[in-house]
């Protein structure tokens, strides 16, 4: 997630980016992205502005990880757009069956305040009575939370489900989050990244300028899917937990449209 500069002068939301890594990692971050790679990213339906080179792949739209394997896999184009600001999901979802528990674990070196926020984010999902439930475990979680490289240009990042399983990793830019963050704000950030892990795209997928400021951003065609979720609005949704950017201290618990989207998918 990235900071919204229009709401805050120095803070960023799930997309902005802050970093912590080795010198080698910082050098990798500065490598330019080839036109061929940008074309593949565009074809997958993601914006190509400020694409970052990260370990194992690329970071797009501020907080979404795409692996080299994902970029080079043959895709079936599925371009489904109904409007400009509805809730969107990918074609990659978690196979929930008749019910499934997703486990999450967090690097024990991270501050205790991060554990508290993770528990609160999990509670937000579990309160919805979905087919998927979530549990924090001491180690070996299906989704593992860890510190991002020092050079990270985002607050937190994640990816989309693979083969019916949630994306297995959330990276947190500790340098920018700090050791004692506003808990409601940080809970929202973690809930947002978990949303990506189970298949949600940004609510303002078709125009991230809505939450991030700046110019209109068209994210192109889509091979992972940008599927409108029935029952969600066709007008701007100012409080959705899956907006691309967040202002400093903002809290975005699930609103009515978010609940509709969650219940429709799970």
Q: Find the range with the poorest average confidence among 71-75, 153-157, 242-246.
A: 71-75
Does the domain at 2-265 match CATH 3.50.50.60? Answer given as no
Q: What are phi and psi of 227, to 5 degrees?
A: -100, 120
At 15 the pLDDT is 44
How do 169-172 and 64-67 pair as beta strands?
unpaired
- pTM of the full structure: 0.76
For residue 54, which phi and psi values (nearest 5 degrees)? Answer: -130, 170
- In whole angstroms, what is the distance from residue 77 CA to residue 144 CA? 30
231-234: long-range pairs with CB below 8 Å, 24+: 231/257, 231/260, 231/261, 231/264, 232/86, 232/87, 232/257, 232/260, 232/261, 233/85, 233/86, 233/257, 234/82, 234/83, 234/84, 234/85, 234/86
Which CA distances in Å does 5 have to 9, 15, 43, 171, 262? Answer: 5, 11, 28, 21, 28
- CB distance 19 to 263 below 8 Å: no
pLDDT reported for residue 52:
86
Domains of the chain, by residue range, sit at 2-265
**What stretch of H or E contains 176?**
helix 174-177
3-state secondary structure of 178: coil
214-241: average pLDDT: 61
pLDDT of residue 109 exceeding 70, the answer is yes
Q: Which residues pair with 54 in a beta bridge?
A: 57
pLDDT confidence of 81, banded at 50, 70, 90? very low
Query: 102 is written with which tokens?
Result: 């997703």
Query: Which one is predicted more confidently, 233 or 224?
Result: 233
Q: Please, which residues bridge with residue 106 across strands?
A: 145
Most confidently predicted of 88-92, 140-144, 220-224: 140-144
Lateral strand order in the sheet of 52-54? 52-54, 57-60, 64-67
Is residue 206 within 8 Å of 85, Cβ to Cβ?
Answer: yes
Report yes or no: 39 and 46 within 8 Å, Cβ to Cβ.
no
Q: What's the token pair of residue 133?
A: 């439930």
Residue with tokens 């939370």, as numbered in its chain: 145
**Length of the chain (residues):** 266
**Is there a contact between 232 and 257 (Cβ–Cβ < 8 Å)?**
yes
117 backbone dihedrals φ, ψ, rounded to 5°: -65, -40
pLDDT in tens, 150-194: 888 889 999 989 899 999 999 999 999 999 999 999 999 999 999
- What 8-state DSSP symbol labels residue 31? S
């Amino acid at each position: 997630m990235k900071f919204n500069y229009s709401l805050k002068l120095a803070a960023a939301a799930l997309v902005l980016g802050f970093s912590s890594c080795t010198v080698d990692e910082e050098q990798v971050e500065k490598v330019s992205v080839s036109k061929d790679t940008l074309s593949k990213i565009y074809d997958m339906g993601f914006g190509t502005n400020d694409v970052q080179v990260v370990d194992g792949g690329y970071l797009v739209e501020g907080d979404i990880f795409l692996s080299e394997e994902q970029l080079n896999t043959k895709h079936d184009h599925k371009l489904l757009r109904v409007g400009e600001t509805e809730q969107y999901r990918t074609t990659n979802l978690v196979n929930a069956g008749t019910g499934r528990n997703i486990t999450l674990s967090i690097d024990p070196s991270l501050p205790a305040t991060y554990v508290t926020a993770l528990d609160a984010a999990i509670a937000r999902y579990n309160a919805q009575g979905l087919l998927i439930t979530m549990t924090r475990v001491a180690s070996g979680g299906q989704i593992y939370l860890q510190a991002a490289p020092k050079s990270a240009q985002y607050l937190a990042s994640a990816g989309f489900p693979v083969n019916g399983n949630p994306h297995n990793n959330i990276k947190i830019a500790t340098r920018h989050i700090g050791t004692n963050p506003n808990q409601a704000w940080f809970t929202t950030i973690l809930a947002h990244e978990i949303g990506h892990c189970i298949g949600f795209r940004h609510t303002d997928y078709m125009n991230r300028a809505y939450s991030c400021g700046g110019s209109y951003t068209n994210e192109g065609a889509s091979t992972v899917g940008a599927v409108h979720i029935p029952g969600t609005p066709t007008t701007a949704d100012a409080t959705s937990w899956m907006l691309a950017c967040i202002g400093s201290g903002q809290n975005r618990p699930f609103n009515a449209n978010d609940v509709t989207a969650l219940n429709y998918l799970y």
